[in-house]
Amino acid sequence: MIVVATIWISILLFAGGFALDRVLTGSLVRNFDSQLEYVVNAMIAASEIGPEGEVRFNRPPADQRFIETYSGLYFQITDVPANHCRQQAESPLCYPSRSLWDRRLRIDDNYFHVRPHFYDSQEFEGEPLRIVERDVILPGSAIRWRFQVAQSREGLDAQIRELRNTLIWSFAVLGLGLVVLAALQTVYGLWPLRRVRQAVAAIRSGNRTRVPQAFPDEIRPLTEEINQLLAHSEEQAEEARRHAGNLAHALKTPLTVITNAATARDPDLSDTVCREATTMRRQVDHHLARARAIGRRASAQARARVWESLQAVQRAVDRMYEEVTVDIAGDKTASARVERQDLDEMLGNLVENAAKYGHGRVFVTVERRESTVDILVEDDGPGIPEAQRSELFTRGKRLDTTGKPGTGLGLAIVRDVAEIYGGTVSLEESEDLGGLLARLSLPLG
């Protein structure tokens, strides 16, 4: 950040300094030119044609430097077409100032300058000049006269050098100050992040459990998110330990039964192993379903289209129960804030139960609420008394006595997975089909 700030500040100061140098040096040059223009205009105003056609002044130039040799201020009046100043040093049609002495100003007679024309010249060795020239035809004369005023640029160049030195030093100090300020802001602004890093290192080493809240307002949301992440991780670790303990406890009894039967050389050992293995498989399936749902719950972007999931379940149930008709209706665009795999598992359990224990008809309705999406699964079976409905959510509990295959964990898995995502599942009586109605409510996606 400091390097980027330094580069950006340097670019801006260079561009600003260059622009300011152009403006100020241009102002100095324009002021210098305006003085030269004033002098040449005053000379033209004071010039007239004498009896012999010569140019003379009705009043002498006011600046005494015009009569001092090599003073740095010169003028020259020349007959432009004849260019007598180039043809002969002393000519009645060339009127140089005494300050020129034996030198003459160069004349380009290819141009006719009605307005003042300014330019720089190096024609005098060691003395750069700034020249203004203007062509006029004086009253009483048909000759085009060129009035030239030249002044040494030494004073102007000295002012420009002083100006640029001042700009360089002032912009250098300004740039250094801005870089130091940017560095201080960066170090001071990012210093709390060093404290956050130290706090996280202390948490990793076991000296802390949370990041302290004594941070600036700009950093506090970060520390709060870190603390929430730590709390979430602790909750997941605790859930994992609890599930591991529950699974170990659930498997302990079947394993004990199998071990005792094997030790006692029970003649029904094979039946015992099959029965207890089925019990263990139910417990493993149940806890795996919960573990998968808990692992996916961390994704806040989880969305699943209910209608697409229902269509997939409908196709699967149609293949398994050819004599059962599954109809779906309702909102086709509703989404639930769950993972698609978990939604398929919940709907599959509910629809399969309705197909298994009904008399051939299953009706599924999707309803969008204000903050939830409700999936209603109805069947035309015998139904379940209200007093016994809550027992179906007990792991391994079955009210069916017909011997149909099942583990007794389907509704328990649906309830556990729904609760993990903040949803609910309840059992009611179907008014249309007369059987059982399972209502699954999930957060609206």
The three state secondary structure string of 111-142 is CCCCCCEEEEECCCCCCCEEEEEEEECCCCCC
Would the pTM of this model clear 0.75, i.e. be above it?
A: no
Report how far residue 131's alpha carbon sits from residue 121's, in angstroms, rounded to the nearest whole number: 7
More confident residue, 69 or 108: 69
Domain ranges of the chain: 2-158, 237-297, 304-443
Q: Which of 31-45, 50-64, 283-297 bottoms out in mean pLDDT, i.e. has the lowest?
A: 283-297
Q: What is the pLDDT of residue 89?
A: 45
Q: What is the pLDDT of residue 90?
A: 46
- Residue 292 — very low, low, confident or very high, per pLDDT cuts 50/70/90? low
Neighbours of 195 (CB within 10 A): 15
Average pLDDT over residues 27-42: 94
Q: Which of 87-101, 143-157, 387-401 bottoms out in mean pLDDT, i.e. has the lowest?
A: 387-401
- Per-residue pLDDT at 443 exceeds 80: yes
Average pLDDT over residues 248-272: 78
Average pLDDT over residues 171-180: 94
Q: What is the pLDDT of residue 37?
A: 94
Q: What is the pLDDT of residue 220?
A: 83
Out of 93-102, 136-145, 174-183, give the one with best mean pLDDT: 174-183
Q: What is the pLDDT of residue 213?
A: 75
Q: What is the pLDDT of residue 19?
A: 95
Q: What is the pLDDT of residue 290?
A: 65
Whether the domain at 2-158 and the domain at 304-443 fall into the same CATH topology: no
Q: What is the pLDDT of residue 297?
A: 55
CATH architecture of 304-443: 2-Layer Sandwich (3.30)
- Per-residue pLDDT at 245 exceeds 50: yes
200-236 pLDDT, tens digit per residue, is 888 888 888 888 877 887 888 888 888 888 887 887 7
Q: What is the pLDDT of residue 294?
A: 64
* Class of 2-158 in CATH: alpha beta
Average pLDDT over residues 101-115: 84
Q: Which of 107-121, 139-153, 163-177 bottoms out in mean pLDDT, i.e. has the lowest?
A: 107-121
Report how far residue 382's alpha carbon sits from residue 398's, in angstroms, rounded to the nearest whole number: 15
Percent of the chain's residues with pLDDT above 90: 37
Average pLDDT over residues 138-157: 90
| Nearest residue to 292 via CA among 351, 364, 243 | 243
- Per-residue pLDDT at 351 exceeds 50: yes
370-420 pLDDT, tens digit per residue, is 889 999 999 988 888 887 777 776 654 444 544 444 434 568 888 888 888
Q: What is the pLDDT of residue 295?
A: 61
* Mean predicted lDDT score pLDDT of the chain: 84
Q: What is the pLDDT of residue 84?
A: 55
